[in-house]
């Protein structure tokens, strides 16, 4: 599925080169009460986070486990359980139904970029962007507008909803996770 999508603009890829990985969890923040190991992939680490059980269930229901366990690199803007709980009542349950797999997949892949996007590099691209917002293309075909509010990176989805990065630069063997406080949605 991902091979047919444009992963990121060339400026993003050029702006993000040169970021390496450490081999231990000591360089990574804790997420959901769990150590995040740089030698494990996105899925292997996410399943240990108590704050991401809904996201893990959604990734499983969408059939994206194998993809997000793959080589990458991927950046995942990972909504917390509280972010999913803030959606209108019944939304998560409806999305997890097999008949809604395509919609769920679209929503989840709108949280994934096909490159290593470290926060320092993204903040630099935002600073250099006209109007203080940098367009981030996702593998799901969404375009997120990244901007800064003080020291925090804020992502705006195609419906005008926003999510703030609350934990940045959680390195993985196949990319990076940035924890966010809201679910990003594609245009209707």
Sign of CA dihedral 143, 40, 47, 167: negative
Residue 153 and residue 122: Cα distance in Å, rounded?
A: 8
Pairing of strands 175-180, 74-79: parallel
Question: So what CATH class is 2-180?
Answer: mainly beta
What pLDDT shows up at residue 180? 98
Lowest-confidence pick of 6-10, 48-52, 71-75: 6-10
pTM comes to 0.85
Which secondary structure element, helix H or strand E, spans residue 146, and what is its range?
strand 143-149
Beta bridge partners, 31, equal 34
- Please give the mean pLDDT across all residues of the chain: 86
Residue 40 and residue 37: Cα distance in Å, rounded?
A: 5
pLDDT band at residue 188 using 50, 70 and 90 as cut-offs = confident
Domain boundaries, the chain: 2-180
Q: Could you tell me if 137 and 143 are in contact, meaning their C-beta atoms sit under 8 angstroms apart?
A: yes
Please write the tens of the pLDDT for every residue from 149-161: 999 999 999 999 9
Which spans in the chain are helix H?
10-15, 42-46, 53-62, 65-68, 81-85, 91-95, 101-109, 119-128
Beta bridge partners, 167, equal 179
Q: Could you tell me if 73 and 116 are in contact, meaning their C-beta atoms sit under 8 angstroms apart?
A: yes
């Amino acid at each position: 599925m991902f091979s047919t999508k444009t992963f990121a603009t060339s400026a993003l890829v050029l702006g993000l080169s040169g970021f390496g990985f450490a081999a231990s969890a000591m360089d990574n923040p804790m997420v959901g009460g769990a150590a995040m190991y740089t030698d494990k992939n996105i899925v292997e680490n996410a399943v240990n986070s108590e704050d991401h059980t809904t996201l893990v269930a959604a990734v499983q229901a969408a059939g994206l486990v194998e993809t997000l366990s793959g080589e990458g690199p991927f950046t995942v803007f990972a909504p917390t359980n509280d972010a999913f709980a803030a959606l209108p009542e019944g939304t998560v349950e409806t999305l997890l139904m097999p008949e809604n797999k395509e919609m769920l997949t679209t929503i989840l892949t709108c949280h994934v970029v096909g490159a290593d996007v470290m926060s320092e590099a993204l903040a630099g691209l935002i600073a250099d962007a006209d109007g203080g917002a940098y367009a981030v293309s996702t593998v799901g075909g969404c375009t997120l507008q990244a901007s800064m509010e003080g020291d925090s990176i804020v992502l705006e989805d195609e419906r005008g909803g926003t999510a703030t990065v609350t934990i940045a630069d959680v390195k993985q063997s196949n990319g990076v996770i940035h924890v966010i406080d809201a679910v990003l949605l594609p245009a209707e």
